[in-house]
C-alpha cells in the first residue's frame, strides 16, 4: 500500500511541477507579448508600463482586461 502512495505522491509532484513550469512560461510570454503589442499600438510610455504591470501582476484576468482596453489599431495602421 505504501508503494502505491509513494508512486502517487511522486506523480502528483511531477504533474504540479510541469503545470507550474507551463503556467510560468505562458505568463512570461503574455508579458512579453503585451509589451510588444502595446509598443506597436501607442507611443504613451505610461500606458505601456501600466498595461505590462497589469498583465504581470494579475495573471489571466490582466490579459483579458488588456485585450478589452487596448487601442484598436497599431500605429502603422493608423497612418
Each of the 79 residues of the chain gets a pLDDT tens digit; together they read: 788 999 999 999 999 999 999 999 999 999 999 999 999 999 999 999 999 999 999 988 999 999 999 888 887 787 7
Q: Is there a contact between 57 and 50 (Cβ–Cβ < 8 Å)?
A: no
**DSSP of 28-79, one letter per residue?**
HHHHHHHHHHHHHH---HHHHHHHHHHHHHSTTHHHHHHHHHS-SS-HHHH-
Report d(CA 34, CA 59) in Å as an integer: 12
What pLDDT shows up at residue 7? 93
pLDDT for res 18: 98
**DSSP-derived 3-state class of residue 27:** helix
Tracing cell 495602421 back to the chain, one arrives at: 77
Query: pLDDT at position 79, please?
Result: 75
Amino acid at each position: 500500500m505504501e508503494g502505491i502512495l509513494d508512486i502517487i505522491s511522486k506523480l502528483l509532484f511531477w504533474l504540479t511541477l510541469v503545470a507550474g513550469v507551463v503556467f510560468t512560461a505562458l505568463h512570461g510570454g503574455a508579458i512579453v507579448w503585451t509589451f510588444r503589442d502595446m509598443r506597436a499600438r501607442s507611443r504613451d510610455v505610461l500606458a505601456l508600463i501600466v498595461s505590462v504591470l497589469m498583465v504581470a501582476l494579475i495573471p489571466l484576468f490582466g490579459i483579458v482586461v488588456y485585450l478589452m482596453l487596448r487601442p484598436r489599431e497599431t500605429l502603422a495602421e493608423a497612418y
